[in-house]
Amino acid sequence: MYGQNVKKIKDWGKGEGTMKKKYRKLAAVFAAVMALGTLNAPISGVFAAEATQSEAAADMTIIQTDKGMIQGLQIADDLVQYRGVPYAAPPVGDLRWAAPEDHAEWEGILDCTEYQAMAMQILSTTDWWGEEFYYDYIDNYPNMSEDCLYINITSPATSPDDNLPVLFWMHGGANMHGFSYEVECNPEELARRGVIVVEVEYRLGLFGYMATTALSEDSETGTSGNYALMDCIKALEWIQTNIENFGGDPTRVTIAGQSAGAGMVSALITSPLTDGLFTGAIMNSSFSPFGTRTPHETTVENCEAWLEEKGYGDLSLEELRDLPTSAFMNETTEKSEIYGKGFGICLDGYVLTEDPVDFYSKEGSLDGINLLFGSNSGESNGSFSLTTQEDFFASAKERYGDLYDQYNFEELFKTTDDIAATMESFRLSSQLTSTTSRLGGLMLSELNPDSNIYMYYFSHWTPGREEEIRWSWHSSELWYVFDSMRDVPEQRDWTELDYQIGDMCSTYWANFCATGNPNGGDLPVWTSLTMDTPYFMEWGDEFKLRYNFYDGTKNADRDHLMVDYVINTYGLQEYFGE
């Protein structure tokens, strides 16, 4: 079973039929076209121009949108990037804590060659991942603003008629931090695989999720909160209206995200406001169909308590909207002042009307949407802290209840010291997350026969920086699915194996965006997740289909323990028996 469809990494990419060689040929053709002459002169701000889309047809740097024309940047012979394209009006003034509205039209051509400000946040440069992803901002405070509703589009299209699939990317960051142009999500190589990549900036934290009684009373929908989700819906609507002019296919939009971004993906799948906006969904490191949402009333209580804590409890909504951004957040704001205060996705009754567990348990809930999701072998290994043997066993006994003794847990997970207990705790946590997702995916496949569902488990260790304890840590797969690794001092000492894995992972993604199926070329065959083929694809030093983690070993009962726990916890007996 473990040996099915094993693919040695070193064999990937051989032969003239590989994706990379195809796109090299495409790039050469595009370069020849561009050599004939382009309209790519420097511009500053918005300037008057008489150019039209038809006049600039040979130059994909100038595009007509529904609000006006924009100028992008030719970043390579085969790629154009449109940076800081506005998809909604700036959410400032009366639009602070309000649903996004249409951007005003403009005259002339809007310069979209520079990234715009990231959303207001406390960028976590001092956390352990700061060195990994935010190295450009360790010594330089980034440009942040409430005026943040922009998208960045990276496209290989040579004509508006190319009809390419679209990937819509939502960054992670606990709904509190992150931005659309992070280095690990560099979209260039993914775009070279024939996908238009759209990366969205959206409101975060207190600006993205504030919910109060006054805001609900002021809203046409009678509710408040979830503004970040509304931002993403607005951007998806923008794509439906405009992406054809960029060479994209509005009927092949895949939404994707990692961690909190994956939570956004799941929320958008369950929202009644997103019908027809996308056909596929990718969720990295955060998907379970068994979750529940924070009630709106709880979010309102938490947000109003925070305003009281800030000394703003007696201010009217008009007065709150008149306060400067710095009254809520500035360069000296500590994470403890913002984090853990209740700012996040809630069941507001408008954007979200039911819990995930209720939505996903209904027959046909996916409505034909194809899914690709998975997690990593080191999901908990990032913020490393020691767990004692005593604490490991006590925590497991509390979680697993009768199964703890039934499976003789202390013998099954026998450890010699606290370090071993810590690593076993991490391993069990990651494998339980994966097992939960796999059984949840199998349930969904039974309820949604019209949807293709694929699951992965990323187990390759990124090189260096304590890899022996970090393993494939939470977020590490992003370097590979975007194939964004670069030979620069600030990044890791990437190996040829890393680049080969990145090639494969990114190609799987591109194929999924194009067809709803990740397979193609000489990639290892990845079967859809069904009761007949209950396999996930391990993305490791080898790529192979697996059914579980310990089959055929003395620790096979570890799999049985996890499966029984998930079935009992979520009441899945009708799908898997007692």
HEC-encoded secondary structure of 235-286: HHHHHHHHHHHHCEEEEEEEEEEECHHHHHHHHHHHCCCCCCCCCEEEEECC
Q: Which one of 9-18, 160-169, 375-384, 413-422 scores highest in mean pLDDT?
A: 160-169
Under DSSP, the state recorded for 183 is G
**8 Å CB contact between 149 and 231:** yes
Residue that wins the pLDDT comparison between 301 and 131 = 301
Burial of 540 from C-beta contacts in 10 A (0-12 / 13-18 / 19+): middle
Q: How far apart are CA 297 and CA 213, in angstroms?
A: 9
Q: How far apart are CA 574 and CA 578, in angstroms?
A: 8
* The CA-based dihedral angle spanning residues 85, 86, 87, 91, taken in that order and rounded to the nearest 10 degrees: 150
Q: Would you state the pLDDT for residue 58? A: 55
Torsion region of 419: left, alpha or beta (phi above 0 gives left; psi -120 to 50 gives alpha)? alpha
| Least confident span in 19-28, 104-113, 214-223, 368-377 | 19-28
Tens digits of residue pLDDT in 151-186: 999 999 999 999 999 999 999 999 999 999 999 999
The three state secondary structure string of 305-318 is HHHHHHCCCCCCHH
- The amino acid present at 102, given as its one-letter code, is D
Residue 217's Cα: distance from chain center in Å? 32
Q: How far apart are CA 208 and CA 232, in angstroms?
A: 11
Q: Which CATH entry fits the domain spanning 10-381+453-509: 3.30.413.10, 3.40.640.10, 3.40.50.1820, 1.10.260.40?
A: 3.40.50.1820
Tens digits of residue pLDDT in 229-273: 999 999 999 999 999 999 999 999 999 999 999 999 999 999 999
Question: Residue 473: pLDDT band by 50, 70, 90 thresholds?
Answer: confident
Tens digits of residue pLDDT in 190-240: 999 999 999 999 999 999 999 999 999 999 999 999 999 999 999 999 999
Mean residue pLDDT of the chain comes to 89
Q: Would you state the pLDDT for residue 46? A: 38
Please tell me whether residue 124 adopts helix, strand or coil conformation. coil
Q: How far apart are CA 27 and CA 192, in angstroms?
A: 8
The three state secondary structure string of 461-516 is CCCCCCHHHHCCECCCCHHHHCCCCCCCCCCCCCCHHHHHHHHHHHHHHHHHHHHC
Q: Would you state the pLDDT for residue 44? A: 34
* 7, pLDDT greater than 90: no
* 97, pLDDT greater than 60: yes
* 396, pLDDT greater than 50: yes
Mean pLDDT of 422-450: 96
- Beta pairing class for 453-458 and 536-539: parallel
Counting every residue written for the chain, the total comes to 578
Question: Residue 578: pLDDT band by 50, 70, 90 thresholds?
Answer: low
* 47, pLDDT greater than 90: no
Tens digits of residue pLDDT in 293-351: 999 999 999 999 999 999 999 999 999 999 999 999 998 999 999 999 999 999 999 99
* 12, pLDDT greater than 90: no
Tokens encoding 48: 């008057």
Q: How far apart are CA 378 and CA 430, in angstroms?
A: 6
**8 Å CB contact between 379 and 437:** no
Please compute Rg for the chain using Cα positions.
24
In the block, residue with structure tokens 């027809």: 276
In the block, residue with structure tokens 């700061």: 130
Q: What angle do CA 278, 284, 287 make, to 5 degrees?
A: 80
Question: Residue 382: pLDDT band by 50, 70, 90 thresholds?
Answer: low
Residue 40's Cα: distance from chain center in Å? 32
Residue that wins the pLDDT comparison between 52 and 369 = 369
Q: How far apart are CA 352 and CA 485, in angstroms?
A: 36
Q: Please enumerate in sequence order all residues whose Cβ is within 8 A of that of 408, keeping only pairs 6 or more positions apart, or say none.
A: none
* 136, pLDDT greater than 80: yes
Q: How far apart are CA 243 and CA 158, in angstroms?
A: 14
Give the number of C-alpha atoms closer than 13 A to the C-alpha of residue 189, restricted to the C-beta side: 26
Q: How far apart are CA 93 and CA 122, in angstroms?
A: 22
Tokens encoding 381: 């290994």
Q: How far apart are CA 64 and CA 271, in angstroms?
A: 30
The string of DSSP letters for 533-577 reads S--EEEESSEEEEES-SSTTSTTHHHHHHHHHHHHHHHT-HHHH-
Q: How far apart are CA 151 and CA 143, in angstroms?
A: 16
* The CA-based dihedral angle spanning residues 299, 304, 307, 309, taken in that order and rounded to the nearest 10 degrees: -100
Question: Residue 286: pLDDT band by 50, 70, 90 thresholds?
Answer: confident
Residue that wins the pLDDT comparison between 4 and 574 = 574
Q: How many helices (H) and strands (E) does the chain have?
A: 19, 18
Please tell me whether residue 78 adopts helix, strand or coil conformation. coil
The share of the chain scoring above pLDDT 90, in percent, equals: 80
Question: Residue 124: pLDDT band by 50, 70, 90 thresholds?
Answer: confident
- Beta pairing class for 73-76 and 46-47: unpaired
Domain ranges of the chain: 10-381+453-509
Question: Residue 386: pLDDT band by 50, 70, 90 thresholds?
Answer: confident
Q: Would you state the pLDDT for residue 39? A: 31
Q: How far apart are CA 359 and CA 406, in angstroms?
A: 33
**8 Å CB contact between 280 and 513:** yes
* The CA-based dihedral angle spanning residues 125, 459, 515, 22, taken in that order and rounded to the nearest 10 degrees: 90
* 1, pLDDT greater than 60: no
* 506, pLDDT greater than 90: yes
In the block, residue with structure tokens 């993604």: 509
Q: What is the pTM of this model?
A: 0.90
Please tell me whether residue 419 adopts helix, strand or coil conformation. helix
Q: Would you state the pLDDT for residue 33? A: 33
